[in-house]
Structure 1
Amino acid sequence: MAAINLTASGPSTFILNGIPGLEAAHIWISIPFSMFYIVNLLGNFMVLFVVSKEQTLHMPMFLLLCMLALTDIGMSTCVVPKALCIFWFGFKGITVDGCLTQMFFLYVFTTTQSAVLVTMAFDRYIAICDPLRYATILTNAQIAKIGLVVLIRAVLLILPLPLLLRRLPFCTNRVILHTYCEYLAVVKISCGDTRVNRMYGLVITLLDIGLDLTLICLSYGLIISAVLRINSKKSLWKALNTCTAHICVMLISSTTFLFTALTHMFGQGIAAHVHILLANLFVLVPPMLNPIIYGVKTKELRDKVGKYLCRM
């Protein structure tokens, strides 16, 4: 049946299989998928709306939060609509160009998010370790330049992924065991030599998440060192409290991404549906939780959101 379906789909089409082994439960799985996606959109658009409307929030910290919100919306939007089409209507076909485009934008948003988290850690480092120079080091114009550099870096790192896949031959097996065009899932169905593709995928993981995590840990090592020298307990608690939201967001995003990447690379004994569920949780859970965490932990944002909600 698979061969017949593939023939019917044409030579320029891949088949996204959804979650193998759980096809009968696709409708039930779509319920949390759609709920997480709706909460994600509502939360992140609320952050963007409130920060854009409130002049008092036009500061580096909140501009970075808007960048994070945009990457959260982009990541989940690259994946969830197509996944829901698979779950609800059985629309499993995707053109090769559509697949590579989805992959490119998904990983650009993922890489951008990682770099934004690094910048947010640097922002907290300056705010705590060198507060008197904070306003001169991190201006709104400086944040805009950083955002542009972050985006260019992401594009340059990710652009080789679809280009390397373009050179691979794909024979009769065009069924991708996934809900979206995850890089290694597409590499696995090629009938050509994929060593370069796998190597570049590993390099991207190390350069992107590995380097960014190292920089974040370095920033927080310096922050902890500075905080421990504070004699006043009140000042100590205030300094730590300014970092808790970012630490929570960073841990959720980095942990889910690393676990997903490592299970795809080295977890051959793990069931396919576990791989795919983990990969989907990465693009669903952190984007949904990030605006909630910042909304709860950041007093200025919480107060402004509350003001607009009371007007409704």
Structure 2
Amino acid sequence: MNWITNYVRPRINSLFSRREVPENLWTKCPECGTMLFHRELSDNLNVCTNCDHHLAISPRGRFAALFDGGVFVEVKVPEPVADPLGFRDQKKYPDRMKAAQKSTAEKEAMLVAEGEIGRTPIVAAAQDFSFMGGSMGMYVGNAIIAAAERAVKLKRPLVLFSAAGGARMQEGILSLMQMPRTTVAVQMLKEARLPYIVVLTHPTTGGVTASYAMLGDIQISEPNALICFAGPRVIEQTIREKLPEGFQRAEYLLEHGMLDRVTHRKKLREELVSILRMLGGLPAPVAGDLPAPGTIAPPTAAGGEPEAQATTP
């Protein structure tokens, strides 16, 4: 061994060796297989730039694009009992919760917030499918009730984005009880004569579809979203027949009268603003994105000095 072997060769190898690339810089489109750069995908609201397939988007990412200036205030949700059944399969339920919280950086499968879209105050709730499949547990039930109560208190519409694999098996019957609980919450909005708009995203299935996800005054869906109670494979195995093309997809449901609109994610905000202002008897919305509430320059007095200091909530 000499200095060429010990020093020169490793030095040359380090200069020409392939650099490691972080795995989260690229995302493969599940529909067309195109590799999408993470910044380009994020700027396009997690919609494939090649085939227009709608990939999953987190509730925070959705709210950042939905609310004026990306500004919103979270609504507090009451905490349920952590592990009411002491459930355990391959892992303990608390361990699964900790893993989901670590991977998503969220407390639970639903986020509730309030803010303005197109200068229209609303309360919004969104499910996170990456958190245990967006499953409906006691926390999700509490979140919808908290959202409905906040909407009634502030006299604002409620916009809900659904994305779930159904009820949470680790909470058993307590999870199924969220179906009537959330139905009562929706009834609170109807009695207060407040709009309840549901945006169904891929996938919305099981007990979520059988309760609050299909009770909206207006039912909108993102393109090609799977919306059903039992999935197509289960139905095919049960009836032993081939299902129609596109069965249980958003476009099929729109054609058969179960949805009001199928709207591209990039046009969804504009459509929601138009619907909300129409239902509220408000003037036509201002075109384009708006700054966050409180960031507009305050009116000036006669002497040119601002009358009040604008603040951001």
Q: TM-score, normalised by structure 1?
A: 0.32
**Greater C-alpha radius of gyration:** 2
Q: TM-score, normalised by structure 2?
A: 0.32
Higher strand share: 2
Higher helix share: 1
- Structure with higher RCO (Cα < 8 A, 6+ apart): 1
